[in-house]
Amino acid sequence: MNILVTGGAGFVGSHVVEHFSRKGYEIIAFDNLKRGEILEKDLSLEHNVKFLKDLSKVSFVRGDIRDFSLLKEVCRDVDVIIHTAAQVAVTTSLKNPRKDFEINALGTFNVLEAARLNDCVVIYCSTNKVYGNNVNKIPIVERETRYEFADDKYRRGIPENFPIDLCEHTPYGSSKLCADIYVQDYSYVYGLKTGVFRMSCIYGERQFGVEDQGWVTWFIIATLLDKPITIYGDGKQVRDILYVKDLVRAFDLFLKSNLKQEVFNIGGGPENTLSLLELLDLLEDVTGKRNRVKYDNWRVGDQKVYISDITKVKEKLWWEIKIKPREGITRMIEWVGANSKLFKSNF
């Protein structure tokens, strides 16, 4: 099986490439290496590119999903496209909604057209932001360090059939939702096997988290490098977090399954949640360090509580979480510490 991974040098993409390379598949890692430019940060993915070059059966193509001609050519002998490439930050989408749309919506359309022409399986990395501000309409209870859903209906989290209409999404949420629906439709209309994974907070090695995106990793980097941390809101906002290798195993299970078209919410679920304040406490417990923290206004589109209902993905794919937050975060602390020079040059 030949696999194309868009965004192959990125965080999730590089783990997808690694996973399937170690299984002996032929992999094309396709990436424009513009994460820093898109986020307007001094970031480089060269570390990840070097990592990929040490893997077997991996070829790297520098390209952009907005370039349909190149994408179509690269997909000629491909069986599976795992589409991780994206504009990933709400803040960036607010500043430049056109670029956000072109990357997330049009870029995904190009991927789907390339897949249609070559009859490829498509796995799409969607987001919990497709549910938009409807999530904030659920009543919540304020506790000492976190918010919680007050409605027992959501004790397992947000299900896949949660409403997506009649609310604000931000340009990022809108572009990702547009692509999400297109991926589903290419299964219904053209018969492609497609899997949509609406991801909650994914974290792990090779993630260059910044204040605008990748908050778990950003808090770890900031703590170890003595960088100030800004919390937008009060820090009691809660997310379910998932270690990246557990996510990639779900992709693998979907490819092996007989499922034709599915949408999955995927994250840590209700048993693997943290508020921002609780992550700071955990980092202090593990590292003995507590960084300077300042507070600012809530950000547009922020959900006070988002927890994925992962019942469906567990039942349909026989998937389970293997790495709990404390173990995963400890691994991340070790990785960031071992690559401190890299982070000092990038931040």
Q: What does the pLDDT look like over 183-210, one tens digit per residue?
A: 999 999 999 999 999 999 999 999 988 8
pLDDT of residue 347: 57
Q: Which residues of the chain have pLDDT under 70?
A: 36, 42, 344-347
Q: Which residues contact 345 (CB under 8 A, 6 or more apart)?
A: none
pLDDT of residue 283: 97
CATH code of the domain containing 261:
3.40.50.720
Angle at 218 between CA 215 and CA 223, to 5 degrees: 125
pLDDT of residue 344: 65
Identified catalytic residue from 172, 182, 186, 306: 172
pLDDT of residue 165: 97
pLDDT of residue 302: 87
- Burial status of residue 34 (CB atoms within 10 A of its CB: 0-12, 13-18, 19 or more): middle
Q: Is 190 tagged catalytic?
A: no
* Containing structural domain, residue 63: 2-346
pLDDT of residue 244: 98
Q: How many structural domains are present in the chain?
A: 1
The DSSP-derived string for 40-86 is TS----HHHHHHHHTSTTEEEEE--TT-HHHHHHHGGG-SEEEE---
pLDDT of residue 209: 81
Q: Which of 80, 64, 153 lies closest to 120 in space, CA to CA? A: 80
- In 183-272 the beta strands, taken as DSSP E runs, fall at 194-199, 201-203, 229-232, 238-243, 261-266
